[in-house]
Structure 1
Amino acid sequence: MSQAEQRQKLREGQGFIAALDQSGGSTPKALRLYGVEESEYASDAEMFDLIHAMRARIAQAPAFTGDKVLGAILFEMTMDREIGGKPAPDFLWQERGVVPFLKVDKGLADSTDGVKLMKPMPDLDVLLARGAKAGIFGTKMRSVIDAANPAGIDAVVAQQFEVGRQIIGHGLVPIIEPEVTISIHDKAEAEDILRAAILAQLDALPEDHEVMLKLTLPEADNLYEALVNHPRVLRVVALSGGYSREEANARLARNTGVIASFSRALTEGLSARQSDAEFNATIAKSIDDIHAASVAG
């Protein structure tokens, strides 16, 4: 598996990154949206079997290929399982031409200064070593910004880049995700503060360090243009953040050089009760729409 090939695909490819990384806390909601109620499973093990079946069904859909899906973010348990008879990362890259990423954060800490930092990750080095051995290209980790608080936003960005440097040390590319909550009244102000904080951290990175950024779709179109063009940034991707797929796609298309990395908006309309033909047609339409918005800018 050539990391150089994967890097080139991500840098130059015309497509988006699928987020298939719902974790323990968000899995019941993801399954409910997929038409599987909590009464249909009796344990966490059964729950994770069901969500893996959903992810495997998406990954094996005919439209889920590297032509339009550049990469996919996996939950740790997905990395350790098989899809189509192969380890999930190998299936994605070898069979689909999709670059595999791994979600590495352990969730959010309690709110401080209008933000939620990431919880400590004491076993991160072990996980990164496992990921690198399994053929993972990069990682993703999420913090949340709930207010235009400079101290809080600086803390979020500093933590993200500190852990990012640890990830780069394992030969992986970190996706840094400081999500701005879409419903806050000072979203535009928070985004201005965030942009400045990220630029300062990027400018301080050594020349041989490279990151990706996953950001909430901004209020001001092309706000993140300087990040898209920064020499330390492999790619800027956008999260759907609670916007409908239609709204997320419309906002995305107005931001040049930014591509999608949608989770809920990707799986919108999918159901466990659909026939394979219905399921495959629905995911193909999602992929086509998100791809079109990603390449529009």
Structure 2
Amino acid sequence: MEYQKQLQRIKDGAGFIAALDQSGGSTPKALENYGVTGDAYDNDEAMFDLVHEMRARIMTCDCFDNERVLGAILFEDTMDREVNGKPTANYLWEDKNIVPFLKIDKGLAEQMSGVQVMRPIPNLEALLDKAQNYPVFGTKMRSVIYEPSADGIELVVQQQFDVAKQIISKGFMPIVEPEVNIDSANKHDCELLLKADILRNLERLNDDHQVMLKLTLPEEEGFYQELIDHPKVLRVVALSGGYSRSDACEKLKQNPGMIASFSRAFTEGLSKQQSDKEFADTINASIDEIYKASKV
């Protein structure tokens, strides 16, 4: 029942998905951008305490509302913690009507064939079993493409869809994220190969199965329309990928039907040192800009 409600919300709702899923490798940078330097913590536990504090501050803001925010992607550590005395996913869904997703990948393997595939996810079954205790709707996993290598890109997409099938079998909606690096010298060539591979893999999915796609904003306007319209794609969301928020939003407006799922661009300008009003004003302006770009 909850899954069906969440499915309708993601399918038909206006708004965007906030990516609050920085994990071990990217947390120090996220904290630094938030005004918390490395000397403020001396172990991982203290680091994750601080980043959870930041995420809870965002989620409990009145302006982090379901009128503009459709969903939020969580790191496993965040799912295991509480916000306002409730497990994070329960708080988001029950108190805010915002759909929770869970980041499940364990980071990237070394670069080869112009790409980085995902590292193995040895405890995936156990992680998904744990997620079933919460109102988590879907999952997210990221790979990266740097060069237009047909073999490399095929490897990335195949791995993503193989894991996606496992996730679907456990009753979750997978967000497949084969990011194209924004600094790639041949970005559009990468996107041409990527789209063809995604379409091939969509055809191989069972007729009653769907995925979501999280893709880098493309060089060519409206380039992913075929994927947006595909019956086996629930939603196509855009990552910010290192673009500033204003650049990412401008690019998003050129791709009707895509909605944002920004991480760095979403939290841009936030600081631990801000008063609650300054913080709320900053996050409200960010939410508003991203929401408007996602509505086009």
TM range (shorter): over 0.9
* Structure 2 counterpart of 1:27: 27
**In 2, Cα distance between the equivalents of 1:217 and 1:259?**
10
* Structure 1 counterpart of 2:11: 11
* Structure 2 counterpart of 1:212: 212
Task: Map Cα deviations across residues 179-202 of structure 1 (whole Å, 9 max, x no partner).
Answer: 000001100000000000000000
Instruction: Measure how far apart 1:65 and its partner are.
Output: 1.4
Task: Map Cα deviations across residues 218-243 of structure 1 (whole Å, 9 max, x no partner).
Answer: 00011100100000111000000000
Task: Map Cα deviations across residues 122-177 of structure 1 (whole Å, 9 max, x no partner).
Answer: 11011011112212100000000010101000000000000000000100000000
Are 1:139 and 2:139 counterparts? yes
**In 1, Cα distance between the equivalents of 2:213 and 2:27?**
24
Give me the CA root mean square deviation.
Answer: 0.6
1:27-46 matches, within 5 Å, as: 27-46=27-46
TM-score (norm. length: structure 2): 0.99
**In 2, Cα distance between the equivalents of 1:11 and 1:120?**
30
* Structure 1 counterpart of 2:110: 110
**In 2, Cα distance between the equivalents of 1:25 and 1:175?**
20
- The one-letter code of the counterpart of 2:248 is A
* Structure 2 counterpart of 1:272: 272
* Structure 1 counterpart of 2:53: 53
Aligned-partner SS, 1:177:
strand
* Structure 2 counterpart of 1:224: 224
Runs of 4+ in 1 over 3 A off after TM superposition: none
**In 1, Cα distance between the equivalents of 2:4 and 2:65?**
19
Instruction: Measure how far apart 1:42 and its partner are.
Output: 1.2
1:83-98 matches, within 5 Å, as: 83-98=83-98
Aligned-partner SS, 2:295:
helix
Instruction: Measure how far apart 1:2 and its partner are.
Output: 1.2
Q: How many aligned residue pairs are there?
A: 296
Task: Map Cα deviations across residues 89-111 of structure 1 (whole Å, 9 max, x no partner).
Answer: 00001111100000000000011
1:121-140 matches, within 5 Å, as: 121-140=121-140
TM-score (norm. length: structure 1): 0.99
**In 2, Cα distance between the equivalents of 1:126 and 1:191?**
34
Aligned-partner SS, 1:176:
strand
1:192-207 matches, within 5 Å, as: 192-207=192-207
8 Å contact from structure 2 (residues 2, 135) kept in 1: no
Identity %: 56
8 Å contact from structure 2 (residues 106, 120) kept in 1: yes
1:150-161 matches, within 5 Å, as: 150-161=150-161
8 Å contact from structure 2 (residues 227, 233) kept in 1: yes
**In 2, Cα distance between the equivalents of 1:122 and 1:49?**
25
Aligned-partner SS, 1:49:
helix
For structure 1, the residue ranges without an aligned partner over 5 or more in a row are none
For structure 2, the residue ranges without an aligned partner over 5 or more in a row are none
Aligned-partner SS, 1:134:
coil
* Structure 1 counterpart of 2:180: 180
* Structure 2 counterpart of 1:71: 71
**In 2, Cα distance between the equivalents of 1:169 and 1:26?**
29
